[in-house]
């Protein structure tokens, strides 16, 4: 399959829907808050429950995915901390730099991408990875964001217990383990499927609206290093961790392994903008605030990912590396 056909089938739908949200935000005064609330508390949990209860992912595969995501996050933490300190960054901008390089947009970018590129199995893997990322964002992410602030990072980590996706994963896995999954064609599962399918275009509209409202004035040039790490270094780290996991304990489901690498190579997630706004100091380094730095990185990596993610999808779909 050519790069053009991969772009048309896997990337263009993502770009088109996000661009629609971007244009809508530019033309009108629409805000993403209401849509985001509906997605976080209703649509995304429904997607998680339906996808995980009906997917063919086995318990061993789920454990391997958890291991890969955890190992990747720790590896990128070491790499980004080292690079950030060597390049002379200090808090609070160092924390912002670490956040944008560690945490990819596995949710409102990654889930639709995995669905378009790898089908239902890709979507099931993506919702699991997104739930894991949610836990890490509201624990490790809050700690990193708050290092340069004055708040109590440890007490703020209790926010992880307010993330609906975490409970959705627990419910889905418990239902599978106990054999309590309702019939696929029944009313409950059909309703969950309908709600879950609605979350995919809504997530992309939200992404476009958030990008349109991002404050990036004067911040585009300083984010080049962070953007390169997120789009170029992170996929290499993800591939190395996945191959290492496969060699040590096996990774029999190659499609899942490829989807995990793809998700970890997506652009910077939007949630770090919220974290630095809530927990980081408002001080600036060289005239650049952490919020502006993160917003600019989200925009730059999302636009540049049209090229890098297309190439990554082509590499993974070819089976050349996994």
- Residues 259 and 114 sit within 8 Å (Cβ to Cβ): yes
d(CA 150, CA 167): 30
147 phi/psi in degrees, rounded to 5: -60, -35
Secondary structure of residue 104 in the 3-state scheme: strand
Residue boundaries of the structural domains of the chain: 3-318
d(CA 223, CA 283): 17
**CA Rg value for the chain:** 19
d(CA 1, CA 5): 6
Give pLDDT < 50 ranges for the chain: none
Q: Which CATH class is domain 3-318?
A: mainly alpha
Give how far the C-alpha of residue 294 lies from the chain's centroid of Cα atoms, to the nearest Å.
15
d(CA 318, CA 322): 9
d(CA 267, CA 109): 8
Got the DSSP string for 86-112?
HTT--TTHHHHHHHHHH-B-TTTTHHH
- Residues 114 and 262 sit within 8 Å (Cβ to Cβ): yes
Angstrom CA distances, 9 to 5, 15, 112, 311, stand at 6, 11, 12, 13
pTM (two decimals):
0.88
Residue-wise pLDDT for 188-203, tens only, equals: 999 999 999 998 899 8
CA-wise closest residue to 105 among 244, 282, 263, 316: 263
Note the pLDDT of residue 149: 61
d(CA 272, CA 44): 19
Judged on CB neighbours under 10 Å (0-12, 13-18, 19+), 53 is: buried
Q: Find all residues with CB under 8 Å of 67, minimum gap 6, and list them.
A: 245, 249
């Amino acid at each position: 399959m050519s790069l053009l056909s991969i772009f048309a089938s896997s990337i263009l739908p993502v770009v088109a829907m996000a661009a629609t949200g971007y244009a809508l935000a530019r033309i009108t005064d629409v805000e993403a808050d209401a849509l985001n609330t509906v997605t976080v508390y209703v649509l995304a949990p429904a997607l998680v429950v339906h996808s995980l209860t009906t997917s063919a992912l086995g318990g061993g595969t789920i454990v391997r995915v958890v291991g890969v995501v955890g190992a990747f996050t720790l590896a990128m933490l070491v790499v980004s901390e080292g690079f950030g300190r060597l390049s002379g960054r200090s808090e609070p901008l160092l924390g912002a730099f670490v956040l944008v390089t560690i945490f990819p947009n596995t949710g409102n970018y990654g889930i639709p991408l995995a669905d378009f590129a790898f089908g239902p199995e890709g979507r099931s893997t993506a919702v699991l990875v997104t739930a894991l990322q949610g836990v890490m964002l509201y624990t490790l992410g809050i700690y990193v964001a708050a290092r340069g602030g004055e708040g109590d990072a440890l007490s703020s980590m209790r926010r992880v217990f307010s993330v609906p996706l975490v409970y959705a994963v627990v419910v889905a896995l418990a239902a599978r383990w106990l054999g309590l999954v309702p019939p696929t064609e029944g009313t409950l599962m059909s309703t969950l499927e309908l709600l879950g399918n609605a979350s995919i275009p809504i997530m992309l509209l939200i992404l476009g609206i958030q990008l349109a409202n991002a404050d990036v004035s004067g911040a585009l040039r300083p984010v080049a290093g962070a953007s390169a790490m997120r789009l170029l270094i992170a996929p290499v780290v993800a591939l190395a961790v996945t191959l290492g996991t496969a060699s040590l304990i096996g990774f029999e489901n190659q499609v899942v392994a490829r989807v995990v690498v793809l998700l970890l190579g997506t652009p910077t997630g939007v949630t770090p903008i919220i974290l630095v706004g809530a927990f980081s100091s408002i001080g600036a380094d060289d005239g650049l605030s952490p919020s502006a730095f993160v917003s600019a990185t989200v925009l730059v990596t999302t636009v540049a990912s049209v090229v890098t993610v297309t190439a990554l999808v082509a590499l993974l779909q070819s089976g050349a590396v996994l």
